[in-house]
């Protein structure tokens, strides 16, 4: 697999995902106004995306080791791009929240494989440079997103913030299909640790929901459940024959 092509693809994706997140955050007031969303439901437009990304990051990272990192990365970009098109045609606030959650799953597929692809093809003495380029792309996306998102929302409407992601995503997908030949799967043939993946996802969900519901009783209960799930996940990781995360 060509190193420069991997760096190009990973850098493009590292720019796109934070750019999308920060641009969408600027568009939230316009989305809430059009669909008459209250503050709680509107906050879930961002929270649902982050929650899904956190829930599925480790499981998809492990799946990429089993099935191929390029494959998971590519399908993640397909999900992000396709959902951006559908989000631009949303009919309700609830639809936006659900679609953002699914889009967060695609983001987890990209987050969990982009850096892994880089470290797989670059030797140790060059990793500092390429990882620095990758991280720089993340912060450029975070910096440019609010300005571009605000400008597009003001001039064209919030739906075009999502529509803008589509050609950018297609460019990344096309580059992957054109430039990246072969695939890398460091643990092909090993079983997938489904119990560990479920434990991880539930623990992360309960912790995040718990913190968002504090200081209420429900928030405390969810936080305790999340911490308990975290301890169970760590315990399982020590003794599982092929854990989703090698503790």
CATH of the domain at 131: 1.20.1250.20
Do 70 and 101 belong together in one domain? yes
CA distance 197 to 204: 11
Asked if the structure places residue 62 within a domain, the reply is yes
Do 80 and 123 belong together in one domain? yes
Residue matched to tokens 């092929």: 242
CA distance 17 to 80: 9
* pLDDT of the chain, 247 residues: tens digit per residue: 677 888 888 898 889 988 998 999 999 999 999 998 888 888 889 889 988 998 898 888 888 888 888 889 999 999 999 999 999 999 998 999 999 999 999 999 998 888 888 888 888 888 888 889 988 999 999 999 999 999 999 999 999 999 999 999 999 898 888 877 776 666 666 778 888 889 989 998 898 888 877 787 888 898 899 999 999 988 888 887 788 877 7
Asked if the structure places residue 187 within a domain, the reply is no
Asked if the structure places residue 185 within a domain, the reply is no
- pTM for this predicted structure: 0.86
Token pair recorded at residue 152: 């597009």
Asked if the structure places residue 42 within a domain, the reply is yes
Helix ranges (H only) for the chain are 3-35, 39-67, 69-87, 93-121, 124-155, 159-179, 194-213, 217-239
Do 42 and 151 belong together in one domain? yes
Asked if the structure places residue 211 within a domain, the reply is yes
Do 204 and 162 belong together in one domain? no
Give the phi and the psi of residue 22 in degrees, each rounded to 5.
-70, -35
Asked if the structure places residue 89 within a domain, the reply is yes
- 94 contacts 215 by C-beta, under 8 angstroms: no
Do 166 and 225 belong together in one domain? no
Do 25 and 134 belong together in one domain? yes
Containing structural domain, residue 232: 194-239
Vertex 29, ends 23 and 31: CA angle to 5°?
A: 80
Vertex 198, ends 194 and 200: CA angle to 5°?
A: 115
Q: How many separate domains does the chain show?
A: 2
- 84 contacts 103 by C-beta, under 8 angstroms: yes
Do 165 and 211 belong together in one domain? no
Asked if the structure places residue 245 within a domain, the reply is no
Do 159 and 200 belong together in one domain? no
Do 165 and 209 belong together in one domain? no
Do 98 and 162 belong together in one domain? yes
Asked if the structure places residue 246 within a domain, the reply is no
Do 212 and 126 belong together in one domain? no
Do 154 and 50 belong together in one domain? yes
């Amino acid at each position: 697999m060509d190193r420069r092509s991997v760096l190009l693809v990973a850098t493009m994706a590292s720019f796109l995902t934070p750019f999308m997140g920060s641009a969408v955050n600027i568009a939230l007031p316009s989305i809430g106004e059009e669909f008459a969303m209250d503050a709680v439901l509107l906050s879930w437009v961002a929270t649902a995306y982050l929650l899904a990304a956190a829930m599925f990051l480790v499981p998809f990272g492990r799946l990429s080791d089993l099935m191929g990192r390029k494959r998971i990365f590519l399908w993640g970009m397909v999900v992000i791009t396709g959902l951006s098109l559908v989000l631009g045609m949303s009919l309700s606030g609830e639809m936006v929240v659900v679609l953002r959650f699914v889009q967060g799953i695609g983001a987890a597929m990209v987050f969990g494989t982009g850096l892994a692809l880089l470290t797989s093809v670059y030797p140790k003495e060059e990793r500092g440079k390429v990882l620095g380029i990758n991280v720089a792309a993340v912060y450029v996306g975070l910096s440019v997103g609010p300005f571009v998102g605000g400008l597009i929302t003001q001039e064209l409407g919030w739906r075009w913030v999502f529509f803008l992601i589509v050609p950018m995503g297609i460019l990344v997908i096309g580059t992957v299909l054109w430039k990246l030949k072969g695939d890398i799967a460091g643990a092909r043939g090993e079983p997938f640790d489904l119990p560990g993946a479920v434990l991880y996802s539930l623990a992360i969900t309960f912790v995040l929901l718990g913190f968002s519901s504090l200081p209420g009783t429900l928030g405390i209960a969810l936080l305790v459940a999340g911490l308990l799930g975290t301890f169970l996940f760590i315990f399982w990781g020590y003794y599982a024959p092929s854990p989703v995360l090698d503790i």
